[in-house]
A and B are shown apart, each in its own frame.
Chain A
Amino acid sequence: MKKVISTGLLLLAMVVSGALTAQDDAKADQLIGIWEPSHGKAKVKVEKIGEKYYGKIVWLKEPMDPETKAAKVDKNNPDEKMQNKPLRGYRILKDFQYTDDNEWTEGTIYDPENGNTYSCIIKMTDENTLDIRGYIGVSVLGRTDVWKRLKMPSKKK
């Protein structure tokens, strides 16, 4: 009888634990989607790769470089090897992990306009709004940008 009870308790603990993990995963995955930064010059698609979250540019308001008349590349990147890479498709958000309280940390954000990478914290203020804070060293030396969620595109047949 004791064995049956302890086995039952163990199963219950596993179910509760599994449910909580699933709940956390669901919360963490809220970051997945298409987002528009406040300047409206780009759209960024956030995806989950492994246990981390990444965001890449999928749309540019001005996709062509006025100087070269070709598709924009990451010409401001301090790494010369990256300077010919197209901006569309570029991962500008990297390595974010869900911590708690609708916050994703440990990641970086890249600014193609000056080639700098900043430490970054993402906070979801409501299900369709993100506070993206890029900073230098300590959070107080930073700037927050508000991103809004866009509707997912319909699949083309």
Chain B
Amino acid sequence: MFRQKIGLMVVASFGFIQMATAQTDTTNTEVEEEEDYSMYDNLDFVDEGVKRYAPAKIKGISPAKLITVGYDWQGKYDMTAAGYTTNEGTFAEQTATVNSTQGLRLEANIPVISKNSLIVQVGARLWDINYDFDDPTSLTNPLLTTLHNNNLASMGLNSTIFKPLSEKSFLLVQVSADMNGDYEFTDPQNFKYTKYSVAALWGKRPTDNKQWALGLSRTYRGGDLNYLPVFLFNWTSPTSKWGTEILFPARGHVRYTVNPRNLLFFGYEAEGYSFRIGNQGQARPDEDFDDLEIRRSEVRIRFVYERQIKGFLWLSAQAGYRYNYSFNVDQLPDGEDFYRGFTGDQEFIQENELTNPLYFNVSINLVSP
């Protein structure tokens, strides 16, 4: 199965590598003889009432990724799964060493409408998350055995809508539907377990070098459902050397531009989803515990290096520290998700602990015009 997946992913990536490198980026653009350019200083539009719109990007921002083929790897760490009691007995707390957590990541984001007055982008994402335990025969806690037997999978569809309202202001809406759990991609879980996230922001783009926006989100970045304010701040210095790319609380980076084909970043990304444990007939402790979800959230503090390989093909390499924010397990009453927020008193079935390893992620990307 794993080989099949790799085969498909390699074939897909080969296709877009060919397409990206087939495109030339060499420029033999010529400069014509000097003319009096001052005559172009004050020209009006032929049409009356032409409306200008705020562009979606600012000067110097990193290129948007259309297609990504990546590999994510976390180093050795310890996972302590909490003990708990069911009608069938008590399962003891257990600490196990995970040699690595790793998997392929495929992503695509394609603009379906791309006009000055509206940009609509549609995307898809597919992540494989494999747990390699140091001594799998010793595992007794159901959380550990199910991770060992089934691993985790995550896939989703998303859309980003950018609607400029004027030359200086805009609306930004992001929606996503994600299916996360211990299923196989060839046998996904029921669609009723799909998780929906949305963020809506209103913002300003006062100059070509700066845009900011404020909004609200319904998100699983913290592992479980939450409603959080969102703040976007993209900025590039006048010399284009320094900048920020921030969508708080999801991610925030400081950018250093060596040149437009070599970019360095330092910052963080909060990565979180709620993974349904179907157990697939294995390691189920009790039917009373039939709607379990791992509220998985981690913060990745990292350096990122992005560089053009050839044409529109870019390499992205991340290295950093993976900080576990949540790996707790909830039981969903009647299978329905609920809101706990920062102040709710609903108890977790398991409050688990993970130590924090180094991680890296490397990807090949086809970038947007």
Our verdict on whether A and B bind, yes or no, reads: yes
Contact B239 A141 (CB under 8 A): no
Interface string of B338-369 (1 = CB under 8 A from A): 00000000000000000000000000001011
B238 contacts A78, C-beta separation under 8 Å: no
A99 at the interface (CB under 8 A from B): no
A145 at the interface (CB under 8 A from B): yes
Instruction: Kindly state the separation between the CA atoms of A113 and B240 in the bound complex, as whole angstroms.
Output: 10
Complex contact A56–B53 (CB within 8 A): no
* Known contacts A82-B27, A115-B27, A118-B369; A66/B239 CB under 8 A: yes
Complex: how many Å from CA A146 to CA B240? 25
Pair B27/A149 contact, Cβ less than 8 Å: no
For the complex, is A51 an interface residue (Cβ under 8 Å from B)? no
When C-beta atoms are compared, the residue in chain B nearest to A49 turns out to be B32
- Among A124-157, those with CB < 8 Å from B are 128-129, 131, 133-138, 140-146, 148-156
Closest approach, in angstroms, between the C-beta of B44 and any C-beta of chain A?
5
A6 interface residue (CB < 8 Å to B)? no
* A144-B115 in contact (CB<8A): yes
A116 to B167, CA, bound (A): 26
Interface status of B260 (Cβ within 8 A of chain A): yes
Partner of A39 from the list B43, B47, B208, B366 (CB cut-off 8 Å) is B208
Q: Within 8 Å CB of B238, what residues of A? A: 66-67
Q: Are B31 and A89 in contact (CB under 8 A)?
A: yes
Quick check: is A102 within 8 A (CB to CB) of the other chain?
no
Q: Mark B19-49, 1 if CB is under 8 A from A, else 0.
A: 1101111111111101111011101111100
Q: Which residue of B lies closest to A116 (CB)?
A: B25
B47 touches A148 (CB 8 A): yes
When the two chains form their complex, are residues B369 and A153 in contact, meaning their CB atoms are under 8 A apart? no
Are A146 and B116 in contact (CB-based, < 8 A)?
A: yes
* CB pair B369 A135 closer than 8 Å: yes
B40 lies within 8 A of A76 (CB): no
User: A45, A116, A131: which has the most chain B beta carbons within 10 Å?
Assistant: A116
CB-CB contacts below 8 Å: A39-88 with B:
39-41, 43, 45, 56, 58-59, 66-67, 74, 76-79, 82, 85-86, 88
Query: Closest CB of chain B to A76's CB: distance in Å?
Result: 5
The reply to whether A34 and B27 contact each other, CB–CB distance below 8 Å, is no
Instruction: Check A82–B29 contact: CB distance below 8 A.
Output: yes
Chain A residues near B22 (CB-CB < 8 A): 137
Q: Which chain B positions have C-beta within 8 A of A43? A: 40, 43
Q: Which residue of A lies closest to B240 (CB)?
A: A67
Bound-state Cα–Cα, A7 to B311, Å: 57
Give every chain B residue within 8 A of A144 (Cβ-Cβ). Answer: 114-115
The residue among B30, B40, B117, B259 with the most chain A CB atoms within 10 A of its own CB is: B40
Which of A38, A85, A140 is the one whose CB lies under 8 Å from B116?
A: A38
Q: How far is the CB of A46 from chain B (nearest CB, A)?
A: 13
Check B27–A151 contact: CB distance below 8 A.
no
Contacts of B28 in A (CB 8 A): 79, 82
Docked CA distance A149–B46 (Å):
6
Residue from the set B27, B116, B117 with the largest chain A CB neighbour count within 10 Å: B27
**Beyond known contacts A45-B40, A66-B238: 6 more, CB 8 A cutoff:** A43-B43, A59-B43, A91-B31, A148-B46, A149-B45, A151-B43
**Closest CB pairs A-B (n = 3):** A137-B19, A153-B39, A38-B116
| B-to-A contact residues, CB < 8 Å | 19-20, 22-32, 34-37, 39-41, 43-47, 50, 52-53, 55, 59-60, 63, 66, 110-111, 114-117, 167, 208, 238-240, 259-261, 311-312, 366, 368-369
